[in-house]
Amino acid sequence: MNQIPPDTSDLSNLQGRRILVVDDDQDSQELLAFMLEQEGAETKTVSSAVEALKVLIQWQPDILLSDIGMPQVDGYTLIRQVRNLPREQGGHIPAIALTAYAGEVDRETALSSGFQQHIAKPIDPVECISVIMKLLEKP
């Protein structure tokens, strides 16, 4: 009897995609990296905006996920710095704000700062993957 393989066409797949995760909380970094790598993504995690800018320019990820509430340089400042970079250095990278601040004002602040999306913590893996996939599909 022949087995029919399951239809996986509707499953999210980040195979071959590079994702930069910026979060000062190591547990959050590890959880996000694990979740994204399970979907086939290649990840790099950093704990500060300074590190993020270096990795962004050198590694050229496909998408940026950044916590907002970080010491010294917060996620809002980071995304403004990123948006000031030339395109070839990552200035136009799709970016998602990750934050425990989940109100509408927080969402609007994230979007007006240069993020395309805002995801509240604790992060729902299905929602996160879905948002990433939608951003990566946009031209």
Domains of the chain, start order:
18-137 (3.40.50.2300)
* Buried-exposed string 18-48: b where 16+ CB fall within 10 A, e elsewhere: ebbbbbbeeebbebbbebbeebebbbbbbbb
Q: Is 25 left (phi over 0), alpha (psi -120 to 50) or beta?
A: beta
**Per-residue model confidence as pLDDT tens digits over 11-44:** 458 999 999 999 999 999 999 999 999 999 999 9
Query: pLDDT digit string (tens) for 50-73?
Result: 999 999 999 999 999 999 999 999
> Which of 21, 17, 46, 11 lies closest to 119 in space, CA to CA?
21
Q: CB 87: neighbour CB atoms within 10 A?
A: 8
